[in-house]
Amino acid sequence: MILKSETLELREDNAVVRVRQRARALAIEIGLGLVDQTKIVTATSELARNTVDYGGGGTATLDVINEGNRRGLKLTFSDQGPGIENIDLALTDGYTTGGGLGLGLSGSRRLVNDFSIDSTPGIGTTVSITRWI
Amino acid sequence: MDNIMDRIPILKMGQFLLVTIQVDMYDRLAMALQDDLTTKIVEHNSKGVLIDISSLEMVDSFIGRMLGSVASMSRMLDAVTVVVGMQPAVAITMVELGLSLSGVRTALNVEQGMSVLNGLVAHEVEGADYDSEE
Ligand SMILES: Nc1ncnc2c1ncn2[C@@H]1O[C@H](COP(=O)(O)OP(=O)(O)O)[C@@H](O)[C@H]1O
Ligand SMILES: [Mg+2]
């Protein structure tokens, strides 16, 4: 069940900072500890930047969710950019087409409890992450 | 709220440069800092750069890459970069993300970072003396 939801535009690097700050605020609000806050905020930064840099911009949706008696922070990054041809390859440590470190997708996956990616070439990319408390 | 600024200030302290990152850094700001540091190292013939990241609440792959390139650039310009003040939660997260910061010297705080730099510079001077005596 979604207890609270907000959607932010992601068009440029200042917006990445804004989404990071909202993710931090909500992580604190649901009671995540400092290390878990830092993990979800770092993953947020990576995925938000991908949305801007590779997806040509898009949105970040931040949901406070409830499942049984646990609460979580779920973030969804969506764009209508070029999509990813080979998702397994993109999820490999060190793989980059943009001169980065290639740790954004693979590293974010390690930092959260749930990770899902849905991408279709020519249609766009959606990545969702959740950290449960 | 947004902490929009054009440049992160760089302080000159003798033969060292001191940078305190106090903002939630966006990417262009990180790139500007990298450029500015290179310019200043050359301009002042600096021997060391101390970067205090104790206010940074996260280090992602972009900031990590920037710190790594500042370190290797300064090395080529005969200066040493020391990154100080990383919060424990940030360090834990970086390791899990897969960022190693290999090639970047670190110290716990500004004081220890300064003594690392002073030690390195003193060592270099001794080395030079030794060479000239030969
Ligand atoms: N939203 C996206 N749209 C299109 N391609 C993407 C997207 N996110 C990631 N990618 C692709 O996956 C690769 C790996 O991404 P990532 O792990 O974040 O590393 P990096 O950002 O350093 O390249 C990118 O280089 C890019 O080719
Ligand atoms: Mg990335």
Residue A95 CA to ligand 1 center (angstroms) comes to 8
Q: What is the pLDDT along chain A (133 residues), one digit of tens a residue?
A: 999 999 999 999 899 999 999 999 999 999 999 999 999 999 999 999 999 999 999 999 999 999 999 999 999 999 999 999 999 999 999 999 999 999 999 999 999 999 999 999 999 999 999 999 9
Of B59, B26, B100, which is closest to residue A43 (Cα–Cα)? Answer: B59
CATH number at residue A121: 3.30.565.10
What torsion, rounded to 10 degrees, do the Cα atoms B102, A127, A53, B28 define?
A: -60
Query: Where do we find the tokens 């490999």?
Result: A92
Please give the Cα distance from B109 to A14 (Å, whole number): 29
Q: Which amino acid is at A35?
A: V
Ligand 1: nearest atom to the Cα of A107: 17
List CB contacts (< 8 A) between B4 and chain A. 14
Residue B128: predicted pLDDT: 56
How many domains does chain A divide into? 1
Asked if residues A124 and A66 have their Cβ atoms less than 8 Å apart, the reply is no
User: Atom 19 (ligand 1): residue with closest C-alpha?
Assistant: A102
What CA dihedral angle connects A30, A35, A38 and A44, to 10 degrees? -70
The architecture that CATH gives domain B4-126 is: 2-Layer Sandwich (3.30)
CB contact, 8 Å: B116 with chain A?
no
- ipTM of the complex model: 0.94
Q: Show the tokens assigned to A7.
A: 């959607």
Q: Kindly report the protein residue whose alpha carbon is nearest to atom 16 of ligand 1.
A: A104
- CB-based contact A42 B28, cutoff 8 Å: no
Q: How far is the CA of A15 from the centre of ligand 1 (A)?
A: 18
Domain ranges of chain B: 4-126
**CB proximity list for A69: less than 8 A, separation 6 or greater:** none
Domain holding A122, by residue range, is: 2-132
Is B58 within 8 Å of A45 when comparing Cβ atoms? yes
Q: Name A9's Cβ contacts closer than 8 Å, sequence gap at least 6.
A: A15, A57, A59
